[in-house]
A and B are shown apart, each in its own frame.
Chain A
Amino acid sequence: MSLGIMATEPTHPWVDDVRRARRGDSNAFAALVKSVQRQVYGLCLRLLRTEAEAAEVAQETFLRAYQNLDRYDDARPFDLWVLTIARNQCLDLLRRRQKLKTEDVDDHAHALQSHEPTLEEGAIARQERKSLEDAMATLSVDDREVLALYYVQKRTTKEIAEVMNVAPGTIMARLFRAREKLRTRMAASEEKGAA
C-alpha cells in the first residue's frame, strides 16, 4: 500500500500544494503564493515601475492563477507558469495605458531601492547600484524583462524563453543587446555627472 503511494509521490515541491489548492484548501494556495510572491512582485515592479501598480497586478496574477488552477499542467514549474501570467498582465496594462514611452523613472528607482535587503546593500555601493537601477529603468520593457529574469531572478535561458514565449536561442542575443544598451546609458549618465 505504502509502496504504491511512494511510487506516485510528486517530485516537484509545488505539486502537493497545487493538488490541495484545487480541492479548495486555501492554506495550500497561500503556501504557493508565499513561495513565488517575491519573484512575481519583483517582475511586475521592474516592468510597471510603480509600487501600487505592481502590487495590484501581482495580486490579480495570483487570483487568475487560482481561478485557472485546473488548466495548470503539473509537469511545468509552477513559478514559471505564474510568472508567465504576471508578464502577460503587465504587458496588457502597459498596452492599455500606452505608457511605454512616457514613463517616469524616479518613482521606480526609489521603489526598488527601498526594499533591498541589508546584505545586498553591503554587496554593492548604494550609489553604483542606484545608477544601475536608474539606467535599467530607462530601457524598454523587453530589455528590462530579460535582464531582470536572467540576472535578478537567476533564471536559465530556457526558462526565460518559456516565460517570454520566444525561442531559447534568441535569449543570449537579447541579453547582449540589453546589456549593451545599459552600458551605453550608464556611460552617458557618468559623462553627464562628470560634466
Chain B
Amino acid sequence: MNEPNDAELEAMLRELAPDDASRVLLLEEHRQLEKDLLRLADPLPPPDFLAKVMTRVAQAPARPVSKADVWSAVAIVAVTLCLAVAAILVSGGATGGFGLALASLVVKLREGLVAMGSALVALWTTAALPTVVALSLFLAAALTALRRFVQPTAAKVVS
C-alpha cells in the first residue's frame, strides 16, 4: 500500500476522511483496490504484430544522418583544410610558391604515369597470364573483404 507520505497526500486524506475511523476504512479500501489492480496484466498484441512492425521497418526510408556522422565529416574537412594551409605555409607562405610547387607536382605525376604505363606494357608482353590471374585473385579477395565489412556477423558483434 502507498501510504500517504507528503503534505499533498495528507491534505487529500484529511479532506476525504476527517476522522480516524473513516481514514482507516478508506485506507483499507485502497489496499483492497491495489490488490485487485496488481492482478491485472497487459494484453498480448495481435499475432501478426511483430511481422507488421518489421515490414514497416523494411519499407521505411533510410535513417537520417546521425550527429556522429556529421561531426566526423566536419572533422575530416577541418583536418584537410589545416593540412592545405600547412602545405602553403611550408612552401614559403606565398601563394606564388605554392603554385610552383603544385605545377612541379603535376609534372612529376605525369612522368610517373608515363613510367607506370611503360612498366605495364612490359609486364603484359612478358607475363600476361600470370598478371591476369594475380589481378583476378586480388579483386576477389578485396570484394570478399568488403562484403564481410559491410555485413558484420552476429558472432563478431557479440564477442
Contact = CB atoms under 8 A, between A and B. Distances in A.
A34 B50 contact: yes
A129 B40 contact: yes
B134 interface: no
Contacts of B60: 63, 66-67
Nearest to A173: B8
Contacts of B66: 70-71
Nearest to A10: B158
A169 B9 CA distance: 11
A98 to B, nearest CB: 26
Interface stretch (B26-34, B88-96, B101-109, B112-120): B26-34
Q: Which of A20, A28, A120, A179 has the most CB of B within 10 A?
A: A179
A51 B44 CA distance: 11
B12 A55 contact: no
Interface stretch (B51-59, B71-79, B124-132, B140-148): B51-59
Contact of A179 (B30, B41, B68): B30
Interface in A26-47: 26-30, 33-34, 37-39, 41-43, 45
A112 B57 contact: no
Contacts of B64: 67
Contacts of A59: 49, 52-53, 56
Given A63-B56, A66-B60, A151 B37 contact: yes
Contact of A123 (B39, B43, B52, B158): B39
The range of chain B's interface size is 35 or more
Interface in A140-193: 147, 151-154, 169, 172-173, 175-177, 179-180, 182-183, 186
Nearest to B45: A41
Nearest to B44: A115
B43 A183 contact: no
B37 A147 contact: yes
Contacts of A48: none
A179 B57 contact: no
B42 A38 contact: yes
A120 B37 CA distance: 12
Contact of A19 (B16, B30, B44, B157): B157
A90 interface: no
Nearest to A46: B42
16 contacts: A23-B157, A25-B157, A26-B54, A37-B53, A43-B42, A45-B43, A58-B45, A59-B56, A62-B57, A63-B60, A117-B41, A124-B39, A132-B36, A132-B37, A153-B42, A179-B34
Interface of B: 2, 4-6, 8-9, 12, 16, 29-30, 33-34, 36-46, 49-50, 52-54, 56-58, 60, 63-64, 66-68, 152, 154, 157-159
The 5 lowest CB-CB distance pairs between A and B, nearest first, are A42-B42, A115-B43, A70-B66, A151-B37, A41-B45
